Amino acid sequence: MDELRARIKAVNLKHERPYIFVNTASSMDGKIALGDGKRLKISTIEDFKRVHRLRNEMDAILVGINTVIKDDPHLYVKTGFCPGPIRNPVRIVVDSNGKIPSESRILSGTTKTIIAVVKGNEENLERLKARETGNIIIKGVEANEEGKVDLHSLFLDLFSENINSILVEGGSTIISSLLRKGYIDTYSIFFRNFIVGGKQAPSIVGGQSAVAPVDLIHLRDPEIVIMEGGMLLSYHSLRQ
């Protein structure tokens, strides 16, 4: 973790923005859920421990709204999986139109949760207003060219609030946006030794396919660690 802390610090100082770490669990054929998009438990215990320790190092954990709707994650740090004091990073949901279900588990508990909506759409979350004084914060952000939350503006805004590192845990549409824009510093995938198969199951990276070689996103300097039930593949310093 010392190496990661040094990387985060270097990016914060040099670029004055948060460090973006994307972490995904995938089948060997690149699928991150079942055929109907339902949650699939992919990580092994060893990988869960790694992820919870990683979460505990970061200032925030971010997911897209579809992941909240499909998986209903808590995104907290599990005590038993993590040595030392638990920090419980801020949870962030990227939700342009403010459609997050009020009963979502990410809105529960005492950890701060930020819902990032496109400016002007804050009123769609009027139903959460009463809870806003507590741990739920609704943040209006500039829209990007597709009318969705502009991730660059969001990251700069979060950095001004002392969020220096963000762990992105999916799903595939958010990862695609980040890769296409070149916003990722570290990209880690735990590949589990099983196959889901088929076309319907979502892949690690969603969005549009490359239609010409010039559209390919090239990765370099892979680091591979063999783990219980699979392997961890990481690319660091993606963004120079």
Ligand X SMILES: NC(=O)c1ccc[n+]([C@@H]2O[C@H](COP(=O)([O-])OP(=O)(O)OC[C@H]3O[C@@H](n4cnc5c(N)ncnc54)[C@H](OP(=O)(O)O)[C@@H]3O)[C@@H](O)[C@H]2O)c1
Q: Which residues bind ligand X (CB under 6 A)?
A: 24-25, 32-33, 37, 39, 42, 63-67, 70-71, 94-97, 99, 144, 148-149, 151, 169-174, 177, 202, 206
Helix or strand holding residue 88 (H, E): none
- Measured distance CA(121)–CA(238) in Å, rounded: 33
The sign of the dihedral angle between the CA atoms of 25, 54, 12, 168 is positive
Provide the residue type at 160 as one letter: S
CB nearer to ligand X: give 2 or 145. Answer: 145
- Measured distance CA(203)–CA(29) in Å, rounded: 8
Helix or strand holding residue 183 (H, E): none
CB nearer to ligand X: give 113 or 173. Answer: 173
Shortest separation between residue 85's beta carbon and ligand X, angstroms: 26
CB nearer to ligand X: give 164 or 173. Answer: 173
Shortest separation between residue 197's beta carbon and ligand X, angstroms: 16
- Measured distance CA(117)–CA(114) in Å, rounded: 9
- Measured distance CA(29)–CA(103) in Å, rounded: 33
Q: Where are the alpha helices (DSSP H) in 58-128?
A: 65-71
Give first-to-last CA distance, the chain, whole Å. Answer: 21
In the block, tokens 């559209």 appear at 215
CB nearer to ligand X: give 72 or 223. Answer: 72
Shortest separation between residue 77's beta carbon and ligand X, angstroms: 16
CB nearer to ligand X: give 63 or 114. Answer: 63
Shortest separation between residue 190's beta carbon and ligand X, angstroms: 8
CB nearer to ligand X: give 32 or 232. Answer: 32
Six-digit token string for 109: 């508990």
Shortest separation between residue 2's beta carbon and ligand X, angstroms: 26
Shortest separation between residue 10's beta carbon and ligand X, angstroms: 26
C-beta of residue 47 within 8 angstroms of C-beta of residue 228: yes
